[in-house]
Copies of this chain bind each other. A is one copy, B any other.
Amino acid sequence: MLTFDILEYQERLKNTKERMAREGIEVLLITDPANMNYLSGYDAWSFYVHQMLVVIIDEPQPIWIGRLMDANGAKATTWMYDENIMSYPDYYVHSEKYHPMEFIAEILNEIGHGNRHIGVEMDQYYFSAKAYMTLLRKLPNATFKDATSLVNWVRIIKSDQEIEFMRRAGKIAEQSMDAAVAAIHTGSRENDAAAAIYYELIKGTDEFGGDYPSIVPMLPTGENTSTPHLTWSENYFEEGNAVIIELAGCYKRYHAPLARTVSIGPPPERLERLGHIVREGIENVLDRAKPGIYLEELEEAWRESTRKYGIEKESRLGYSMGLNYPPDWGEHTASIRKGDKTELKPNMTFHFIPGLWFENDGIEMSESFVITEDGVDMLTNYPRELIVNSPFHFPDNSSGIIS
């Protein structure tokens, strides 16, 4: 039931331990579910309770510690021996009296690691302030070190199998975008379009099934296109409105995000013009991308292309991504923005999303790509343009695209 060959997991563990050694970390407490999956294979929706993977620099296998009812899931999905799966009783769950980190600290003391240099992911969703304070109190002889993103940086260069998974996710993204475009007309509600997207995302293709993306499809519509993170309402689509669609295909937790903007009926000239500007900017960036350059140079390429039109973009243009769990598919490592000196290398993967949001409108077109030996390769192939839909539904031509 392992997703990757056991040798791939062991290679990942070796790379993690090398980083630990450089940082002076002997024991790494991993609470990011993507990092747990990356090193162990563990895949379950159990991250809403405290759990972790413990990597000990001088031990061959990590230890999984979680809730008793999830231990069988850990045995089923990871490569480690059963004795490396440990669990706490249920009375620790969402209790005001007991905290799972008390239990975990006791284990660390018992197996002789309570006084070592311990790395923790300080700025991570599933490592709360209380979790940290509990460890500090129960492990008074340990020396804690911030290891936020330590494993994330190991993840930044993908294996060929990971890239293949992301290509599958890309296929799923394309068919889901088709379903979205087809569902956007005045006879349909925003949630109907979201349902059509979700069906394709999870059904996948005949060859491979879809997994849930770490972020739900976003569908800001009309005035709400001025902000990127509204999901959907139960309102009917209206003629003359634009709709931004941001979604990601997902295969075995690996993502390929894709964003497009649809105009319901002929677009205002302004939106059409923005569509051309964004497309030109994207193509300039893709032309520049190749191994050896810094990420900030991609931001420069965007700025050179768009400033002649008076466009200034305050927010970052994209980020490294791949394996993840809710609430984010981004990897929290390299960003396409000013000052980012990450050097591009083959098999790095990015979501490039130069969204523009103004006071009353906005536009998004995005691309997911992989760095190759001499340039980039796209993870999704979808017409790179503002999509113009007929406002009305044509059952015989379900996409209803005008242009």
Looking across the interface, which residue of chain B has its beta carbon closest to that of A75? Answer: B227
From B69, B148, B328, B335, A227 is in contact (CB under 8 Å) with B69
Closest B residue, CB atoms, query A190: B209
Contact A357 B316 (CB under 8 A): no
* Nearest CB in chain B to that of A203: its residue: B195
* Contact string against B for A residues 121-151, beta-carbon threshold 8 Å, 1 for contact and 0 otherwise: 0111111111111000000000000101100
Chain B minimum-CB-distance residue to A193: B202
Q: Which residues of B contact A315 (CB under 8 A)?
A: 68-69, 90, 93
Residue in A130, A233, A355 whose Cβ sees the most chain B Cβ within 10 Å: A130
Number of copies: 2
CA distance A230 to B74 in the complex (A): 10
Residues of A within 8 A of B (CB): 43-48, 68-73, 76-77, 89-91, 93-96, 99, 120, 122-133, 146, 148-149, 189-192, 194-196, 198-204, 208-212, 215-216, 218, 223-224, 226-234, 314-316, 319, 326-328, 330, 332, 335, 337, 355, 357, 359
Contact B314 A90 (CB under 8 A): yes
Contact A234 B216, CB 8 Å, known A129-B120, A191-B202: no
- A334's nearest neighbour on chain B, judged by CB, is B94
Chain B residues near A43 (CB-CB < 8 A): 230-231
Q: How far is the CA of A64 from the CA of B337 in the complex (A)?
A: 26
- Check A191/B203 contact, CB under 8 A, given A70-B227, A72-B357, A227-B73: yes
A139 to chain B minimum Cβ distance, whole angstroms, is: 14
How many Å lie between the Cα of A96 and that of B126 in the bound state? 18
Cα–Cα distance between A47 and B355 once the two chains are bound (Å)? 19
Q: Which chain B residue shows the least CB distance to A339?
A: B91
- Give the residue of B94, B328, B357 whose beta carbon is less than 8 angstroms from that of A330: B94
Of the candidates B46, B71, B125, B227, the one whose C-beta lies within 8 Å of that of A126 is: B125
- Given A48-B327, A129-B127, A330-B94, do A191 and B218 touch, yes or no (CB 8 Å)? no
Beyond A125-B125, A132-B129, whether A231 also contacts B69 by CB under 8 A is no
Cα–Cα, bound, A209→B232 (Å): 10
Residues of B within 8 A of A127 (CB): 128-129
28 inter-chain pairs at a CB distance below 8 angstroms, sorted by A residue, are: A43-B230, A44-B229, A45-B215, A45-B231, A48-B327, A72-B227, A73-B227, A73-B229, A76-B227, A90-B316, A99-B123, A125-B128, A127-B128, A127-B129, A128-B129, A129-B133, A190-B209, A192-B203, A195-B198, A195-B200, A195-B203, A195-B210, A198-B201, A198-B202, A204-B234, A209-B234, A212-B216, A326-B327
**Least distance between A34 CB and chain B CB atoms (Å):** 13
Measured in the bound complex, the distance between the Cα atoms of B124 and A125 in whole Å is: 8
Tell me if A128 and B128 are in contact (CB < 8 A): yes
The reply to whether A122 and B129 contact each other, CB–CB distance below 8 Å, is: yes
| Cβ 8 A contact of A195, one of B89, B202, B326 | B202
Residue of A71, A94, A131, A194 most packed against chain B (CB within 10 A): A94
Complex contact B189–A209 (CB within 8 A): yes
Known: A133-B122, A199-B198. A191 touches B209 (CB 8 A): yes
